[in-house]
Each structure stands twice: as C-alpha cells, then as structure tokens.
C-alpha cells in the first residue's frame, strides 16, 4: 500500500543529553557497533539518554554488514570483514565503562563463516559474565541456519535471556525476510533455547506488513508451543524507499489487544506491545530484571515494565 501516511502517534524525540553523548563516545573508542544506530531504531534517543531508566544500548557483534538481505532491515548487506578477535573483551570493557547492569547483544547474520559466528557470540556472553556475573545478558541471535550444534553454543554460554526474532507470520516470511530464513527454522531455534537452557526465551514480531489477525493468533499459539516466554509487537517502519513498504499503520488500541491476548489467553510471561516497541525495548528488560534480579512475581514485574511504557509515551 504505497503512500500510507504516518499517523500522529508515531513520534519520537531526537537523541540528546549527556548520557547519550557518553555512550556514543564510548562505543566509538572501542570500535563497537550498535543495532540502535545501524537499524535506525526510533527509540535510540530514549534508550541511550536514560529517559526510561539507567540507559541501555544493544551491541551488534560480528561487524556492521550482514550476509543476508532482508527487505525490512536497514543494515547493509555484503562486504563482510573477518570478526574482530578483540570484540568480546572490547564489549565487556564498554559495558563496564558505561555502567550497564543489563546488556543486550545481537549480531548480523554471518553465513560466510564456518560456525556462522556462534562461537564469537557465545564468547562475548562469557566475557561479560566473567567480569561480573551479576550483569544480566540478553542474547538476541541469528538462526544459525537451524544448526542445533551452533544453537547449543549459545545455550551453554550463560545468557539470562535467549532471543531470536520470528519477525512476522508464516505466510509473509519470504517477502519480509531473506530466503535463508524461515518460520519453522526460527521456531526450531526458540524450541531448542527452551529445552536446552535455563534462560527465558523471547521473540518479536512486526505488525503492519500485511498480516491478518488470524495469522497473528496462530503465530502466538506456535510460539507458546515451543516454549517462548516473552513476545514483543511493534509497528514496522520503512527505513528507506528501497525497503519493504508499510502495508498499514496499526492503531495503538490493536497493540493493546494483542498484549492481552498474549498474556491472558496464551500465557506468555510478558508481552510488550505498541507502535514504537522494538525487540530490545527497555520495558522488556525491566520485566526480566524485576523477575530475575529482584525476585518479583510475574504480575509485579509486569507492573514495573508497564511503568516504563507509560513514561516513554509521556
């Protein structure tokens, strides 16, 4: 649906503040990349400035170029460099310097590498945990082409949250994602994370790419069947005119409906759902922190996360 006008509720603050500047400087000093910047995340200003808490950044491992060309993603494709062997320790140094107690790690796809980057990713998790075991680490990983041995490397690395994004409903996988990805392949990764680790399992879907309600409902059912604990819904935003067009802008009320369905009907521990929510949205981190670090009940942790969403919309 070409030329769909962006509604008033999709507004973000420009990045600013001392905290934002400090994080950006630290990342450049350690030659690190973030998905916040590379994927043009609309929440970058809030997350880095600490408007919704102490501040966070999602570190992107294995370079800033991807081996895949998904139609929704703003990360550049091709021309990958060999992994930086110092990156795991550089990330751990940056985490300490910034003062994070919850770290989100993600990476580009590296189909060009023998282990698709799984070992490098796992080593970064271990390096952070070696320095400070109290830091909560969320690993938002590629699918590793569904290879169970590679998936198990992450299961054994010690992350507190293991995440992999299914992105959209089954019917729209290939218009949205690279053909090397796939619905069943992603479900198999989430299932193995659930079965082979003690971590909470998390995924994310974009709305507004042409999905039907019954397809979203089926996806939630499939995700719970493989043991997914946390799910997030966000509005797809077209990064540039060369990317997949927005089919429609989903009203905030509809996002609230999906949150209730996910938690009350399907039993997800938590669902962050809203137009500006992204897979590493701060509310999801607050939920996990409240649950794992503070020992709060699911209901108490949901309330803590809801306060973050409320503050973000003010």
Report pLDDT digits (tens) over 237-275: 998 888 999 999 999 999 999 999 999 999 999 999 999
pLDDT of residue 43 exceeding 50, the answer is no
Q: Sketch the domain layout of the chain as residue ranges.
A: 18-313
Each residue of 81-137: pLDDT tens digit?
Answer: 999 999 999 999 999 988 888 889 999 999 999 999 999 999 999 999 999 999 999
Strands (E), the chain: 33-34, 58-61, 65-66, 76-77, 102-107, 136-140, 161-163, 200-207, 230-235, 270-273
| 33 Cβ neighbours under 8 A, 6+ residues apart | 27, 59, 60, 63, 64
Note whether 93 and 63 are within 8 A (CB): no
| 87 Cβ neighbours under 8 A, 6+ residues apart | 32, 61, 62, 120, 124
Architecture of domain 18-313: Alpha-Beta Barrel (3.20)
Write down the pTM of the prediction: 0.88
Which tokens is 14 given?
Answer: 């420009």
pLDDT of residue 187 exceeding 50, the answer is yes
Q: By CB neighbour count within 10 A (0-12 exposed, 13-18 middle, 19+ buried), where does 291 fall? A: buried
Residue 127 C-alpha from the chain's centroid: 20
> Which pLDDT score is estimated for 51?
43
Higher pLDDT, 52 or 23: 23
């Amino acid at each position: 649906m070409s030329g769909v006008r962006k509604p008033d509720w999709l507004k973000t603050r420009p990045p600013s503040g001392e905290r934002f500047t400090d994080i950006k400087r630290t990342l450049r000093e350690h030659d690190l990349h973030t998905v916040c910047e590379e994927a043009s995340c609309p929440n970058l200003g809030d997350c880095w400035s600490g408007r919704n808490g102490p501040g966070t950044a999602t570190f992107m491992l294995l370079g800033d170029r991807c081996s895949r060309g998904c139609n929704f993603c703003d990360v550049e494709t091709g021309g990958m460099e060999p992994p930086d062997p110092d990156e795991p320790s550089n990330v751990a140094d940056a985490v300490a310097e910034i003062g994070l107690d919850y770290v989100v790690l993600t990476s580009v796809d590296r189909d060009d590498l023998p282990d698709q980057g799984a070992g490098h990713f796992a080593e970064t998790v271990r390096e952070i945990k070696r320095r400070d075991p109290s830091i909560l680490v969320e690993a938002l990983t590629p699918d590793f082409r569904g290879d169970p041995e590679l998936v198990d490397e992450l299961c054994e690395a010690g992350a507190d949250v293991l995440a992999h994004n299914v992105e959209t409903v089954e019917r729209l996988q290939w218009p949205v994602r690279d053909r090397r990805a796939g619905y069943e392949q992603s479900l198999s990764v989430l299932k193995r994370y659930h079965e082979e680790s003690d971590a909470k399992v998390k995924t994310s879907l974009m709305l507004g790419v042409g999905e039907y309600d019954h397809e979203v409902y089926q996806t939630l059912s499939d995700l719970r069947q493989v043991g997914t604990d946390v799910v997030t819904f966000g509005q797809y935003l077209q990064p540039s005119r060369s990317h997949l067009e927005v089919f429609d802008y989903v009203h905030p009320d509809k996002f609230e409906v999906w949150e209730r369905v996910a938690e009350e009907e399907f039993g997800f521990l938590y669902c962050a759902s809203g137009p500006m929510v992204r897979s590493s949205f701060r509310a999801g981190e607050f939920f996990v922190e409240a649950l794992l670090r503070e020992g709060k009940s699911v209901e108490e942790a949901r309330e803590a996360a809801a306060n973050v969403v409320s503050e973000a919309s003010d």
